[in-house]
Structure 1
Amino acid sequence: SAGYFTATPHRVARKKSQQDRISLPVFVNPKLDAIINPIDKNNFPQWDRLTENQWRRDDNHLMASVGENSFKSLARSHPAVFERHHGDLVLLKDGRVIMRREERPTQSR
């Protein structure tokens, strides 16, 4: 793609005291009889490129686990489903999901 398609921004933070890092490569193989032709870079649309760390945003908190990040994606992508099945939870603007605090009526004495 002559540099048109770039790698996804990523970073690995690992403390020396932690166990060895395990990589999980994923390969996508086309059919064996597929013919791959070069891409005509003159037909690519123009777009704004991210600068270093521009992908870090206040509204996209990175969770500690894959499951939490997947749940954040579900809550954002399907808000009606999230509300219907997880009415006890609240999606915050930064993407964190927390328990909903029930407001209790004040009792008169």
Structure 2
Amino acid sequence: MMQILLVILIWVLPIILLRNAYFKMDKEEQQKVKSVFKQPLALFCVGLLVIGYLLSFSGIFLAIALVLHIGVTMVFIGWFTSIIVGWKIGKLNLMKSAVFILLGVLGIVVYVVIIT
């Protein structure tokens, strides 16, 4: 019972905090947030990361390995996509992107070794 309450808290608390922060913004900032979240790449990068983390923690607390694996996979895809997008728009140079991709692959290898 406690695990279910904790998982509900994990999913509901960020939603409440984001909602409160959104309503504290002025109209111009709200329009900027809306325009950013309407872009598919932003949703694909940030959305996969956030939902992946939430699923990973939910899988850990509920002791459901499939949910944990799905969450970790989503985090890796979001991480990889964010790096590629950052490199394409010029926020990251090629060397930093390569290092971050290497760290992501290393993280997946460590995850697989620890889990199996």
Given the two structures, how large is their TM-score scaled by the length of structure 1?
0.25
Greater Cα radius of gyration, structure 1 or 2 = 1
Compare the two structures and name the one with the higher strand fraction.
1
Compare the two structures and name the one with the higher helix fraction.
2
